[in-house]
Structure 1
């Protein structure tokens, strides 16, 4: 067994059930097939279903910073690990004294299916759905096996009131360990599943700068989790027109279940084209992998992402 495998096996033995989850909880896999199929249909439909004519209506002024590239209110905070976007990252992950080479391969998209504006253009209300799969691979093993994958799908109600945008999301999250990882480490399979609501407010206090934040609450969870959470962040992108465009973002996520330990993600790099970014990715705090959420880790490496 390779050194990377030994490290992963020790990490997974966080409790009687593995991964730091209490031993009294049993494995649950609700909606597994349905969620995967729904996410696949969503991703295939998104490129064709987006409402393109709205781009021409995304006017100037402070509202530009809180509209997405398709003209819908509330710009996706793409630097947040919770948001379904397309991302590939090669990272060094450190937990305690153990260090692993991992790869993140995320795929996610969204499409808006409805929007209404008042005649004065001060109020906008729009509906959308988004979904994605977030995968983690072991780069130090001989077969680069899948370690963990989790899915998120949400129904969004987005709105803008003057210079402030808001987004309410009803979401489902489920997670699963890779088969080869289970076989190689002997880890007991555990799946987590939950549904919740989150409300985020967003503003653009300066050109190129977007800030957001708001609370979340769980409606159902397996195992039982503490319901309250909080997310906040900021993103900046330099003005177009120069030889290079730069971006920087930071995202905070706190959860009562984890005693409000801050999970922080940050990115710094260059914007290559509309929605495509490359650069340095940093993270620390509770793991962004659902199966290892009780383990603290530090991430550093290279990332490329795209969001429409």
Structure 2
């Protein structure tokens, strides 16, 4: 181990240079150069033409990451001290149906009609993998986007149902199917 008071040495044992030689850079002018270096002009972004598209790529207004009822595919394994293991499974998707706008899949602009749907199941793996309940959600949002601004307005239907096997094993539970229809407005 080298002492902090001794000069550093290279791997071959020779002392490292105290002042490394200056190197010229193609991007920086020399010290005595009177002419500045031209780095060029920024590339202008051409606005893309708006056209009608059936089943466009990308979504103008993306789903919320933290929305538990958003249409996506996934599974969550929960363990509760009272209920034991519970599986929450989400099977869903969101699809652009028609768009009048550009065809950029990463940053689309225009007006677009989407369709989304999801089935959100709760399964009890300790009781023969019975379906405890299932929430169904579908919606038809109309989205608009230009630059960083995104807006949506849509109709959503949500219904919740208890599983048949769960009801047969628990006859004292009252069956009440929950149904809600709503209009949604969002801006980001």
User: If the TM-score is normalised by the length of the shorter chain, which range does it land in?
Assistant: 0.5 to 0.7
RMSD between aligned alpha carbons? 2.2
Distance 1:109 1:117 in 2: 22
User: How big is the shift at 1:145?
Assistant: 0.7
The answer to whether the 8 Å contact 1:127/1:157 transfers is yes
CA separation of 1:168/1:193 partners in 2, compared to 1, >3 Å: closer, same or farther? same
CA separation of 1:122/1:110 partners in 2, compared to 1, >3 Å: closer, same or farther? closer
With normalisation by structure 1, the TM-score equals 0.39
User: How big is the shift at 1:140?
Assistant: 2.6
Match of 1:163 among 143, 148, 159: 148
Aligned to 2:98: 114
**Residues 47-98 of structure 1: per-residue CA shift (max 9 Å, x gap):** xx8424xxxxxxxxxxxxxxxxx2x31122243112111111211246xxx3
User: How big is the shift at 1:122?
Assistant: 9.7
Distance 2:64 2:125 in 1: 28
Q: Which runs of 5+ in 2 are unaligned?
A: 1-53
Aligned to 2:133: 148
Aligned to 1:189: 175
- Structure scoring higher RCO (CA < 8 A, sep ≥ 6) equals 1
Aligned to 1:100: 84
**Within 5 Å, which residues of 2 pair with 1:18-33?**
none
CA separation of 1:158/1:93 partners in 2, compared to 1, >3 Å: closer, same or farther? farther
Match of 1:125 among 111, 125, 128: 111
The answer to whether the 8 Å contact 1:74/1:159 transfers is yes
Distance 2:156 2:176 in 1: 20
Distance 1:114 1:144 in 2: 39
Runs (4+) of structure 1 exceeding 2 A deviation are 49-52
**Structure with greater helix percent:** 1
**Structure with greater strand percent:** 1
Q: Which runs of 5+ in 1 are unaligned?
A: 1-48, 53-69, 203-308
Larger radius of gyration between Structure 1 and Structure 2:
2
CA separation of 1:107/1:122 partners in 2, compared to 1, >3 Å: closer, same or farther? closer
The answer to whether the 8 Å contact 1:78/1:85 transfers is no
* Count of residues in correspondence between the two structures: 130
